[in-house]
Amino acid sequence: MNSDAKKTLRKLLIAVPLMFAFGFALVPLYDVFCEVTGINGKVFQSDYEDELLTDDGRPLAIQFISTNNENMPWVFEPSEKVMKISTGEYYTATFYVKNTTNKKMVAQAVPSVAPSNAAAHLKKLECFCFEQQELMPGEEALLPVKLLVSNELPKNIKNIIMSYTIFDITDYNDEPMAGHEMNMEH
Amino acid sequence: MSAVIENHHDDHHHGPAKGLTRWLYTTNHKDIGTLYLWFSFAMFLIGGAMAMVIRAELFQPGMQIVEPEFYNQMITLHGLIMIFGGVMPAFVGLANWLVPMMIGAPDMALPRMNNLSFWILPFAFFILLSSLFMEGGAPNFGWTFYAPLSTTYAPPSVTFFIFSVHIMGASSIMGAINVVVTIMNMRAPGVGLMKMPLFVWSWLITAYLLIAVMPVLAGAVTMMLMDIHFGTSFFNAAGGGDPVLFQHIFWFFGHPEVYIMILPAFGIVSHIIETFSRKQLFGYSSMVWAMLSIAILSFVVWAHHMFTVGLPLAAELFFMWATMLIAVPTGVKVFNWIATMFRGSITFETPMLFACAFVVLFTLGGFSGLMLAITPADFQYHDTYFVVAHFHYVLVPGAIFSIMAAVYYWIPKWCGNMYDERLGKLHFWLSFIGVNVTFFPQHFIGLAGMPRRYPDYALQFADWNMVSTVGAFLFGVSQLLFLFIVVKTVMGGKKATDQVWEGARGLEWTVASPAPYHTFTTPPKID
């Protein structure tokens, strides 16, 4: 094999592990892309921002949806299904959970917001979805989410849906959370 | 391109070794090409038998022959075997046989790697097929193996599936590297890049696509492996992962993959049409640029497979337009093929029949692809039999017809005998009728709303399903005729001339028929 062929071969042999690594790089890239564009409805924790408070807010309805993932036996439902709010003010909504089993369990709620272009204007000061919930057998709790919808919300949005899916992560609990940082600061 | 060959005599004349070890140890590009072609034929028949199980079950509504669990395994294995075992190795086999002869090289650049890349393939498919006999059965999540079906809900055999995909990927990558190194460095003096036969061009582009995306597929199955066995959560929402991420990674591989399965076909059909039209190919350089544009565009259209997962509007629009843009270079190619035939003195030998059917039916498959590219319409078509009809039209009378055309076209060069023209034509017409009777009705039942991948269906789809099954068995049985024709040609028949076809051009037709074990040990002189 002549030296030109060796050179071509070397380049191609480097390309293969690079593309393999690129496959894995797609995982954080995908998150970064979604975060920058705010397209998958993920909302991260925000700081208290005075300038978002306003007196001339407009009315808005927030609907809450709760879903249990596959075999998750807990009772999990919003205290109010719909909350009438106005933009530029802080509100606290609560979700009721109860561990109906007779063993200690750990849960994680994963949030999503629709329409997705509302996500950037929804500020969560605190949310139960930022941390794991550990409940004893039969224990119940009210889980709070403190939120504000910025006045810059596109005018055509009159209705925001906040959806939470609760997962049983008792078996995963020893593991550090892979992938997403839930407590990301903006 | 024309060439003058010196008769280079046997200064180191040695033929192949004898017996089984010839095939095990061979580093000869023609031997390895033959191995690849026979292997893919075997896989084609196995995958075809699975298709017969599927169509037999769908002959009538209700559960007739197999259990739904087994049906799912058939669906999955049929797809995997036809793609990774049938079409891809067949094209690699053709590349092995033809690329060195077309560019005047004595062999592939990396002959030992060539041997390795073939011989790991049978193990990959042995592992995959053996999963049928494992507890919990074979993979049952469809050839696209979407998470969490292929992770949380997968049968235990999924680990064997992952390993076999790793082996297939390694084999494809090695084959592709070999093709690129050969084409870039071993062309005879005078064979410039823009003088290369189109089949060589098509394979150069295909090989780059393979090197770019097969490692991404390997990454995807590795992430599955880690999710299943090592507690990671790439695709598991409970752990902070995302199942939709799987689809993005998969289709980042998957869409270039569909062009991997069609670009070599473009090359083959170009050669056959110019030979039997007895004209030079119309628009050679536009053909090259069209293939390059298709290859580049193939990297930015993957999400058109995922219009219904909830993409933002901007993404839906982008992927719709990008996808439709591919119709432009494809249209250029179809135009060039027809322009080549225009005012040619055409004869319709079997390869030309397959090539003409390719142009018509592949274009038809392209049109249904355009329909699927329309985002709002796709919400209706998604995961229906319309999709099944679409991709079978581009793969069966597309990729597979081109492979059959290539076999009829070059087999006289490979084994020195002409095939039986009457049987070849019979095979063509049976296949042509069979393929249309099978897949055309699937457009109708798809548009009417029949979902894909189910073993049962509502009564209103019964008539066309019955027609489709009849067509499938006609197509299936006529491939046994193909096997017979190939075996008969290998065993004997009318001796082929060196040029074989009156209008054939290119270096491979300047060597003796059958092609000697070693060709172009001294580079040919090119005018």
- Put simply, the answer to whether A19 touches B216 (Cβ < 8 Å) is yes
pLDDT at A186: 34
Among the partner-chain residues A18, A19, A27, the one whose CB lies closest to the CB of B245 is A27
Q: Band the pLDDT of B311: cuts 50, 70, 90.
A: confident
Average pLDDT value for residue range B462-491: 97
Average pLDDT value for residue range B435-452: 97
pLDDT at B527: 67
B185 contacts in A (CB within 8 Å)? 2, 4-5, 8
Is the residue at B7 inside a domain? Answer: no
Is the residue at B10 inside a domain? Answer: no
Q: Band the pLDDT of B6: cuts 50, 70, 90.
A: very low
Contact predicate B387/B394, CB 8 Å: no
Number of domains forming the structure of chain B? 1
pLDDT at B414: 96
Q: Which amino acid is at B1?
A: M
pLDDT at A113: 86
Which residue of A lies nearest to B153 if distances are taken between CA atoms? A70
Is the residue at B18 inside a domain? Answer: no
Query: Could you give the CA distance from residue A78 to residue A64 in angstroms, rounded to a whole number?
Result: 6
pLDDT at A40: 62
Average pLDDT value for residue range A48-74: 84
- Put simply, the answer to whether A30 touches B248 (Cβ < 8 Å) is yes
- pLDDT one-digit tens code per residue, A136-163: 999 999 999 988 888 888 888 889 999 9
Q: Which amino acid is at B247?
A: Q
CATH code assigned to A41-172: 2.60.370.10
Is the residue at B15 inside a domain? Answer: no
Q: Which amino acid is at B451?
A: P
Among the partner-chain residues A12, A18, A178, the one whose CB lies closest to the CB of B232 is A178
What separation, in Å, do the N-terminal and C-terminal C-alpha atoms of chain B show? 8
Instruction: Examine the pLDDT at B446 and tell me if it is beyond 90.
Output: yes
B315 contacts in A (CB within 8 Å)? 39
- Put simply, the answer to whether A39 touches B231 (Cβ < 8 Å) is no
Q: Band the pLDDT of A173: cuts 50, 70, 90.
A: low
pLDDT at B496: 95
**What residues contact residue B450 under an 8 Å CB cut-off, 6+ apart?**
B384, B385, B457, B458, B461, B465
- Put simply, the answer to whether A26 touches B249 (Cβ < 8 Å) is yes
Residues of B taking part in catalysis: 78, 107, 143, 171-172, 255, 257, 259, 270, 304-305, 330, 333, 452
- Put simply, the answer to whether B215 touches A167 (Cβ < 8 Å) is no
B211 contacts in A (CB within 8 Å)? 12, 15-16, 19
Which residue, among B103, B226, B245, would best test binding to A if mutated, counting the most A CBs under 10 Å from its CB?
A: B245
Among the partner-chain residues B180, B216, B233, the one whose CB lies closest to the CB of A12 is B180
Q: Please, is B146 exposed, middle or buried when counting C-beta atoms within 10 Å of its C-beta (0-12, 13-18, 19+)?
A: middle
CA nearest neighbour of A14 among B222, B207, B211, B210 = B211
Q: Which amino acid is at B114?
A: N
**DSSP secondary structure, A102-163, as one string:** SS-EEEEEEEEEESGGGGGGEEEEEEGGGS-EEE-TT-EEEEEEEEEE-TTS-TT--EEEEE
Average pLDDT value for residue range B471-488: 97
- Put simply, the answer to whether B181 touches A5 (Cβ < 8 Å) is yes
Instruction: Examine the pLDDT at B15 and tell me if it is beyond 80.
Output: no
Specify the CATH number for the domain of residue B172: 1.20.210.10
pLDDT at B170: 97
Q: Which amino acid is at A49?
A: E
Instruction: Give the start-to-end residue ranges of the domains of chain A.
Output: 1-37, 41-172
Q: Specify the DSSP class assigned to residue A90.
A: E
- pLDDT one-digit tens code per residue, B32-45: 999 999 999 999 99
Instruction: Examine the pLDDT at B401 and tell me if it is beyond 80.
Output: yes
Q: How far is B189 from chain A (nearest CA, A)?
A: 15
B215 contacts in A (CB within 8 Å)? 16-20, 22-23
Instruction: Examine the pLDDT at B274 and tell me if it is beyond 90.
Output: yes
Instruction: Examine the pLDDT at B12 and tell me if it is beyond 90.
Output: no
Average pLDDT value for residue range B225-230: 95
A178 contacts in B (CB within 8 Å)? 232-234, 239-241
Question: What value does the mean pLDDT of chain B take?
Answer: 94
Instruction: Examine the pLDDT at A185 and tell me if it is beyond 80.
Output: no
Which residue, among A11, A12, A173, would best test binding to B if mutated, counting the most B CBs under 10 Å from its CB?
A: A12
Which residue, among B173, B179, B185, would best test binding to A if mutated, counting the most A CBs under 10 Å from its CB?
A: B185
Instruction: Examine the pLDDT at A52 and tell me if it is beyond 80.
Output: no
CA distances from A56 to A47, A52, A152 (A): 22, 11, 12
Which residue of A lies nearest to B212 if distances are taken between CA atoms? A19
pLDDT at A184: 37
